[in-house]
Amino acid sequence: MTLPFAPSSGWCRWLAVSLVMTMAPVASAQEAILEGERFHPEVGTRGMVATSHFLASQVAQDVLAKGGNAVDAAVTAGFALAVTQPRSGNIGGGGFLLVSDESSGEVIAIDYREKAPSAAYETMFQNEQGEAVSELSRYTHNASGVPGTVAGLALALDKYGTLSLAEALAPAIRLAEEGFAVPQRFVEGIRDTRERLEKWESTRQVFFKPDGSLYQAGEIFRQPDLAATLKRIAEQGPREFYEGETARLIAAEMQRHDGLMTLEDLANYQPVIREPSHGTYRGYDVYAMSPPSSGGAHIVQMLNILEGYDIGAMGFNSAATIHVMAEAMKRAYADRSKYLGDTDFVDVPLEGITSKGYADELRSQISRDAATPSDSIAPGNPLPYESNETTHFSIVDDNGLAVSNTYTINFSYGSGIVVDGAGFLLNNEMDDFSAKPGVPNAYGLIGGEANKVEPDKRMLSSMTPTIVKKDGKNFLITGSPGGSRIITTTLQVLMNVIDHDMNIQTAVSVPRIHHQWLPDEIRIEQGISPDTIALLEALGHTVSRQDAMGAAQSIMIDDNTYYGGADPRRSTSSAIGL
């Protein structure tokens, strides 16, 4: 069989590894993580692409090879992932994009996070007794915020790219029309969420065969309705999604199912350019997404705390290192629960949270000899004031332009609802609001008044696209999916490179840990020594062994050479150099 988008020779070596992992049982993915030090980064001399799907990496690399810049390649990859990875890539969701331009020294953040409809209200996900009802914020039409992806990617292209929107959309349109061979991960994803997806006729028509059976690995998957939607956007521009036929299809879908989102909500949507969060760590400048993402503020906060320890000498994933990391994580997530929200609606003490002085205060609370119980940690006083399925990609070119992008529809396959006639899934990002202050969301994260539901408000996020610079030069581009684990995954990639001197492939492959204040446990991946676990438990930590966390597609730049690290936790991940 001749497959559409057959692999080019430039990434055949990666594909061989990918196919072995794809066809192997789940345990093999865990084994790949344990063998991280055996993985070598992809190397390029003119640029690098690292995405969560090899087809998106290929089309992005093609853009760079033809003279396009990193933003051109990023927007092309973003739309391609909306076709090839519908469980998380999207045009029905939203996200954040960082651009670093060495020539100007500027790092900017594009916020294209979803917004609550104008008719949203604080108690909309509570029952008559005032109790939060998770089903309402996750699996209904009102679970969807107004999507931002199309507007956000178009804004990035317009300001920093060289391609037209039609040119950037062309590969995605081709993939949707001609189809692509589905990998095993696609098959497993549909199978695992089948009950939720089959609930909606529009979703059944897209993701299942006419007889209701599943697509199998290697079979061609085509999406004609999505292709038609992308063509309309290519021909009429990004406002087509918000004011044209696509908007009318979304509004009609909402009206049929008592959804609050209207044509007016769509027409009013605009992405926002913001200042990224910024901090320093051992001489490196760290830029990450600012609110409504909590990630950037708390990455900087945790790094500030950890800078007071000689992490390199303490050792990678030693009990001493994991202990102080977990203690820093607890305190950051406690502050997140109280202070973080959409800065267009609430005052967030960013200057305080990211200050070295506040980190010194928090560090003084940490004992090297004992864990601090989470129930004795309360949000601090950082004055003065000022979502599991996501996908991240990193792209750099040889002209000093770097892009770090994370976007999502929240859960795997979002709400599970396809817009009838438009071919794409709606997000369920409304679950990232605090349905009721103090009640955890799907990721166990506690939220407060700062993140309550309000009309036209952006919900709080953990997405953390990050760019690290050294002496004014782009050095490390990273980020990850993983819900509440996004922030800690990104933190550990930075520490692995800066503190432990790992190459970028090893840095994204080795085992990770996570603590989010509540529940009071250190979550660890397979590969942490039993002796280390015993030492942590002796310090008073509860340790929980759980599945793999995150998928940090990352790039490191050293001496004009580009090193790509594709995270083995996603079998379709791919890094391609030029």
Of 287, 320, 319, the closest CA to residue 303 belongs to 287
DSSP 289: P
**Is 75 in contact with 97 (CB distance < 8 Å)?**
no
**Which residues are part of a known binding site?**
113, 408-410, 432, 461-462, 483
Going by C-beta distance under 8 Å and a sequence separation of 6 or more, which residues neighbour residue 565?
39, 41, 42, 50, 503, 504, 505, 506, 507, 508, 509, 552, 553, 554, 555, 556, 575
Burial readout 182-217 (b: 16 or more C-beta within 10 A, e: otherwise): bbbbbbebbeebbebbeebebbbebbbeeeeeebee
DSSP-based three-state secondary structure for 321: helix
Structure tokens that stand for 543 in this block: 């340790």
- Cis before residue 481, ω within 30 degrees of 0? no
**Is 349 in contact with 382 (CB distance < 8 Å)?**
yes
Q: How many other C-beta atoms can be found within 10 angstroms of the C-beta atom of residue 25?
A: 8
The shares of helix, strand and coil residues in the chain, as percent rounded to the nearest 5, are: 40, 15, 40
State the Cα–Cα distance between residues 379 and 382, nearest whole angstrom.
9
Q: How many other C-beta atoms can be found within 10 angstroms of the C-beta atom of residue 307?
A: 18
Per the residue annotation, which of 390, 464, 478, 506 is the catalytic one? 390
Structure tokens that stand for 510 in this block: 């080795």
Rounded (10°) angle between helices 486-498 and 295-306: 40
**Which residues are part of a known binding site for L-glutamate?**
113, 408-410, 432, 461-462, 483
**Is 33 in contact with 507 (CB distance < 8 Å)?**
no
Going by C-beta distance under 8 Å and a sequence separation of 6 or more, which residues neighbour residue 131?
436
Going by C-beta distance under 8 Å and a sequence separation of 6 or more, which residues neighbour residue 513?
317, 322, 325, 326, 488, 492, 522, 523, 524, 525, 528
State the Cα–Cα distance between residues 285 and 365, nearest whole angstrom.
26
Catalytic: 572?
no
Residue 471 backbone class (left: φ over 0; alpha: ψ -120 to 50; beta: rest): left
Residues paired with 163 in a beta bridge: none
Going by C-beta distance under 8 Å and a sequence separation of 6 or more, which residues neighbour residue 500?
311, 312, 316, 507
State the Cα–Cα distance between residues 504 and 472, nearest whole angstrom.
20
**Is 561 in contact with 45 (CB distance < 8 Å)?**
yes
Of 294, 271, 272, the closest CA to residue 461 belongs to 294
**Which residues belong to the active site?**
390
